Homo-oligomer: A and B are copies of this chain.
Amino acid sequence: MATQAEEDYIKAIFKITERNQGSASTNAIAEHLSTSAASVTDMIKRLAQKEYFNYERYKGVSLTPKGLNLATKLIRKHRLWETFLVENLNFSWDEVHDIAEQLEHVKSESLVNRLDDYLGNPKYDPHGDPIPNAEGKFTIRTQFSLMSMNKGEEGVIVGVKEHDKPFLQYLDRLGINLGTKIKVKNFIDFDHSREVIIDEENSTILSHKVCNNIYVKKNQFI
């Protein structure tokens, strides 16, 4: 049974290799976990011995099937708890990360499966991220960054890339949530920002960085 620290490493490597396919570098892991590269090397060696990682000196690490399996379970738990916190306990989407980070380490297969049922087997969490089912499979939705939309196009917000608290609070203030309708009104070439219309009402400017962090589903009618 993996310790909490071990689980944190496994999740970190999952998150890192999720995007830049391949292997996670020592430095990337250290940054992700706010620890030193030396600690990461130590830990990696232990976990490689426990067969969670493929590891070769100076070459970074990737998850073995065993590691991937555990990572998926952790992601499942994390996202189900986030859903519970938002849907049932009325937390807002920027408050749930740290609590779910603790709850995901609670060990009980039946707990997570009953929670899943209690929530109605949701497919996406409050940030729009897919929730793996009990077999570890999850639904991938065709989604695009808001940046990739053309002038005049319309879409619905389905997720965010960063779960950074101030970022989510900023979106809240703009009235942007999952399910919010959004239309690109204008490109501002100078700084690559966009003028958008939110829910067919307010017009506002979203920076290049913000647009890159918002996922939309195009041409969807509610």
Contacts and interface: CB of A to CB of B under 8 A. Distances in A.
Contacts of A111: 85, 89, 99
A184 B153 CA distance: 77
Per assembly, the copies of the chain total: 2
Nearest to A114: B89
A90 B110 CA distance: 11
Interface residues of A, number: 19
B102 A107 contact: yes
A198 interface: no
Contacts of A89: 111, 114-115, 118
Interface of A: 85, 88-91, 95, 98-99, 102-103, 105-108, 110-111, 114-115, 118
User: What are the 10 A-B residue pairs with the smallest beta carbon separation, nearest first?
Assistant: A89-B114, A102-B106, A99-B108, A99-B111, A89-B118, A103-B106, A88-B118, A89-B115, A102-B107, A90-B114
